[in-house]
Amino acid sequence: MTGTTETAYAKVNLALHVRRRRPDGYHDIESLFAFCEDGDGLTARRRDDGAILLRIEGPFTEGLEAGEGNLVVRAARALQAATGAGWGADLLLTKNVPVASGIGGGSADAAAALRLLDRLWETRLGEEQLIALGDPLGSDVPACVASRTLVGTGRGDALRFVAGDDLAGMPILLVNPGAAVATGPVFGAWDGVDRGALNAVDWRAGRNDLADPAMRLAPMIGAVLDALAALPGIDVARMSGSGATCFALFAGERARDEAQAVIRAAHPDWWTMASRLR
């Protein structure tokens, strides 16, 4: 489909500290978010009749509905409602990254839809208002609207932008063993122990506090982390979000590509994506 396009940049939690369980069922977290140059693709063509019609293609369409429940459609409806825009859209989502995998999936798609339709419909809300519009769609959506390095606190939606110059361009490898892990149950399996605040500068010394609970639900994550830790040329390896995707950062693209080849040869059924941080 020809039209206006946008990338739903894959999200990575370089560190994710869970600080406390809240009475509203959410958890206060502190996370350093970064974004890959690659992700799902979204294309849109404007319609005059106000209808929002979504088609999904690509390697990860299974189990995904293209109806009103899809986060892309919900984002489009939210923008229509907030602006009174009478336009609709034909949307094509190319689902390149696995669903429910800790790298933003639906949240990044919703954020991409907001950015794309704000351009296509010329509603011109701009980043700050799109962030506010994305907030009710999911804790991760505000960060994904910005899609640049930032610290998220609260349920992940209170954003503080940080200089990401040292991270931009960094080669990254994402690896998922094929286990879909829903976010709610992983937070639910957290042991309730506050292990301390995140230092966003010294994030390598930080943690992903959801890794242990996620591994209890999907033990294969442990195998992924072991495989990544054994790779030569690795800077840091950690699980992203609520899993099961794990990432490794490398000093150079060659080390990353060699690492991808090693992982693919040993685990042909695992999903991998080589990218760079943006």
Residues that bind ligand SUD (CB under 6 A): 13, 16, 25-27, 29, 31, 102, 104, 107, 138-140, 155-156, 183-184, 187, 241-242
The pair of structure tokens assigned to 254 is: 């060659």
What's the closest the beta carbon of residue 87 comes to ligand SUD, in angstroms? 26
* 49 included as an active-site residue: no
Give the residue nearest to ligand SUD (CB): 241
Could you say which of 118, 140, 157, 209 is catalytic? 140
Closest-CA residue to 140 (of 124, 127, 159):
159
State the number of binding residues for ligand ADP (CB under 6 A). 19
Residue 99 is a binding residue for ligand ADP (CB under 6 A): yes
What's the closest the beta carbon of residue 242 comes to ligand ADP, in angstroms? 5
72 contact choice in ligand SUD, ligand ADP, none (CB below 5 to 8 Å, kind-dependent): ligand ADP
Q: Is 139 flagged in the annotation as binding?
A: no
Distance CA 93, CA 40 (A): 7
Element (H, E) at 119: helix 105-120
Q: Is 89 flagged in the annotation as binding?
A: no
DSSP letter at 217? H
Closest-CA residue to 256 (of 232, 238, 278):
232
Residue 105 is a binding residue for ligand ADP (CB under 6 A): yes
* 95 included as an active-site residue: no
Q: Kindly write down the DSSP assignment for every residue of 34-86, as one continuous string.
A: EEEEEEEEEEEEEESS--EEEEEESTT-TT---STTSHHHHHHHHHHHHHT--
Strand pairing partners for 36?
A: 277
**147-159 CB burial, b ≥16 within 10 A, e <16:** bbbbbbbebbbeb
Could you say which of 11, 38, 95, 157 is catalytic? 11
The answer to whether the CB of 44 falls within 8 A of the CB of 116 is: yes
What's the closest the beta carbon of residue 156 comes to ligand SUD, in angstroms? 4
Residue closer to ligand ADP by CB (options 137, 255) is 137
User: Interface with ligand ADP by CB under 6 A: which residues?
Assistant: 64, 70-72, 99-107, 109, 140, 182-183, 241-242
**Annotated catalytic sites, by residue?**
11, 140
Binding residues for ATP: 98-108
